[in-house]
Amino acid sequence: QIGALPMPDVPGGGEPNIVLFLRDLTEARRLETMRVDFVANASHELRTPLSALLGFIETLQGPARDDARAREQFLGIMRTQAQRMTRLIDDLLSLSRIELREHVAPTQPLDLARIARQLVDMQAPLARERGISLTLETPDAPMPVLGERDELLRVIENLVENAMKYGGSGGIVTVSLHRLTGTDGRPDRIELRVTDAGPGIAPEHIPRLTERFYRVDVASSRHQGGTGLGLAIVKHTLNRHRGRLTIESELGAGTTMRVTLPEYRAEAGGAPPEAG
């Protein structure tokens, strides 16, 4: 936007004064559109289970009032819908909390390998139940990063849950940790990979997966209890940790999600990494 404001004439004559202002509205407009889209999407996502709940309540108060079998069945569905709303609200709150602190770098030295191990242990019963082989591969050494334990646990949890959800039943999911070397030949980054052997993701979807509510297949995501916010939470958490997410996938061959974080090097006398 370019504009000109006339200024009062200076007494005594001379050229009239004007102030020119230049403002780039493109970025402001883009952010405003994103905000409006987000509110519209969030409202739609909340309205869907809410409409289902209202529909079932009306049926239970009317036609199905005396049908004990229908009541049991409907109550089960209503519970699932209410749980879905709870998950959605939890994810929306997590996302806004993370965004609020996105510019505050975390300062706690942590061992990413220990956090990954805790997560794999936590998910082991669910993996067994679904016939999925979930394994952790890590060198016998700490993987030190600066971070917030609960946030990093959540990042790994979202990626492992996705690999188990979309990787196909009876699948193989591997979490592995690696130290990457910088140009000076010294290790300077820690990489965590979550690999599945599922159906993979078509290339046109990959750049959009971290957008809020973007899903390749909305019905399948909902069926799996997804909110469409998992990878957005991962992306914003990693921004805060000065890390990044890289998605590699091939249709029919599976997906690898790579999380890269700066390696923490303790100064002499610095705190050793701990699991938090």
Least distance CB 17 / ligand ADP (angstroms): 54
> 48 vs 108, which CB is nearer to ligand ADP?
48
In the chain, the largest separation of any two C-alpha atoms, in whole Å, equals: 93
What are the helix (H) ranges across 204-259? 218-223, 230-240
Binding of residue 209 to ligand ADP (CB under 6 A): yes
First to last CA, the chain: 50
- Contact between 162 and ligand ADP per CB under 6 A: yes
Q: Which two tokens stand for residue 245?
A: 């997410």
CB atoms within 10 A of CB 204: 8
Check residue 142 for interaction with ligand ADP (CB under 6 A): no
Is residue 198 within the footprint of ligand ADP (CB under 6 A)? yes
Alpha-carbon distance values, 234 to 60, 138, 154, 247 (Å): 40, 21, 8, 12
Q: Per CB under 6 A, does 226 bind ligand ADP?
A: yes
Distance, C-alpha 204 to centroid of its chain: 19
The site for ligand ADP, by CB under 6 A, has a size of: 21
Task: Give dist(CA 45, CA 48) in Å, integer.
Answer: 6
**Residue 163 binding ligand ADP, by CB under 6 A:** yes
Using CB under 6 A as the binding rule, whether residue 221 contacts ligand ADP is answered as yes
Which residues within the stretch 47-76 sit at the binding site for ligand ADP (CB under 6 A)? none
In the set 227, 245, 258, 259, which binds ligand ADP (CB under 6 A)?
227
Residues forming contacts to ligand ADP in the complex (CB under 6 A) are: 158, 162-163, 166-167, 196, 198, 201, 209, 215-217, 221, 226-232, 255
